[in-house]
């Protein structure tokens, strides 16, 4: 026995031979797809409504209502879809599943049905944000910013700046010390020390030379006014003058050499050591 085409485009059931008892039961009940379609219409739902509620694709819903279960990908998936659609249209899925088992030659093993069905029909959940990667990126950004500020800030070329009060002046860098001739018995004096020795005696004069590396330098006068704050690259030097006192902060004291009031400061600063120093017009003393 077969059911004719309906206005909504359903196809007739397969006219396969059944046993007598199955033919009698088939005559009393609609097909699985027809039963689901009638229940959906009675519930006032469209195919789109059912698809959105169950996450079963629209094409599969249409195929099931036309009793085409091949689109489900297997009997296990088909049983899962029938159960889900029946619940969505508010009808009992048990008779439909029994009817499906009869038409397919028996009920399949129930154990793998649930996981296989869920894996096919449920869309993967969105993953949450990867907080570990975000934290690593933030830390790298902070380290990069600090490094850029520390090593690139305050770069003003190869000039030596003499600062007195708040009015800095710029002079040419001292010439590098010429190599001593092997025939000379006495080494030539360091022109840097000679220039500092000629500093006025009524002022305090401090020269900072980055001889062994680069270092961040900060200098203030006796009023606490900032004379200079920046990165002193290797080979560069800065000279500061004030009427009574100069306060220094050396970011890497082991990388610099100090000349105060014409005298070379003998120190044992270690590389990477931060030092806060104060010098006056008298003999050089660390404050």
Q: What is the pLDDT of residues 213-263, one digit of tens each?
A: 889 899 999 899 999 999 989 999 999 999 889 998 988 888 888 888 888
pLDDT of 126 over the 80 cut: no
Domain 29-104: homologous superfamily in CATH: lambda repressor-like DNA-binding domains (1.10.260.40)
Q: What is the pLDDT of residues 94-118, one digit of tens each?
A: 999 999 998 886 655 444 444 444 4
58-67, 127-136, 249-258: which is most confident: 58-67
Query: What is residue 164's predicted lDDT score, i.e. its pLDDT?
Result: 55
Q: What is the pLDDT of residues 171-212, one digit of tens each?
A: 444 455 555 454 455 555 554 555 455 568 789 898 989 888
Q: Render 250-265 in DSSP notation, one character per residue.
A: ESSGGG-EEEETTEE-
Q: Which of 148-152, 261-265, 266-270 has the lowest mean pLDDT?
A: 148-152
Residue 37: both structure tokens together = 């379609």
Put simply, whether the predicted model's pTM sits higher than 0.75 gets the answer: no
- Residue spans per domain, the chain: 29-104, 204-280
Residues 6+ apart with CB under 8 A from 250: 208, 215, 216, 217, 256, 269, 273, 274, 275, 276, 277
């Amino acid at each position: 026995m077969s059911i004719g085409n309906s206005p909504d485009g359903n196809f007739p059931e397969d006219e396969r031979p059944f046993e007598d008892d199955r033919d009698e039961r088939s005559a009393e009940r609609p097909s699985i797809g027809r039963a689901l379609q009638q229940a959906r219409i009675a519930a006032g739902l469209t195919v789109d409504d059912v698809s959105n509620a169950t996450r079963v694709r629209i094409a599969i819903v249409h195929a099931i209502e036309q009793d085409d279960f091949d689109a489900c990908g297997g009997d296990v998936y088909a049983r899962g879809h029938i159960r889900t659609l029946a619940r969505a249209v508010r009808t009992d899925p048990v008779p439909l599943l029994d009817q499906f088992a009869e038409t397919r030659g028996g009920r399949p093993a129930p154990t793998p049905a649930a996981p296989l069905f869920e894996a096919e029909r449920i869309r993967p959940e969105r993953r949450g944000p990867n907080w570990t990667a975000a934290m690593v990126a933030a830390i790298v950004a902070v380290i990069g910013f600090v490094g850029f500020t520390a090593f690139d800030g305050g770069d003003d070329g190869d000039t030596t700046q003499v600062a007195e009060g708040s009015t800095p002046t710029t002079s040419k860098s001292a010439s590098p010390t010429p190599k001593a001739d092997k025939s000379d018995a006495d080494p030539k004096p360091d022109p840097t020390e000679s220039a500092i020795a000629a500093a006025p005696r009524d002022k305090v004069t401090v020269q900072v030379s980055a001889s062994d590396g680069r270092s961040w330098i900060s200098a203030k006068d006796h009023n606490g006014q900032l004379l200079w704050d920046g990165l002193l690259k290797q080979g560069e030097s800065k000279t500061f003058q004030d009427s009574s006192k100069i306060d220094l902060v050396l970011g890497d004291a082991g990388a610099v050499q100090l000349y105060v009031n014409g005298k070379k400061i003998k120190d044992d600063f270690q590389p990477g050591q931060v030092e806060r120093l104060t010098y006056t017009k008298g003999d050089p003393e660390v404050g």
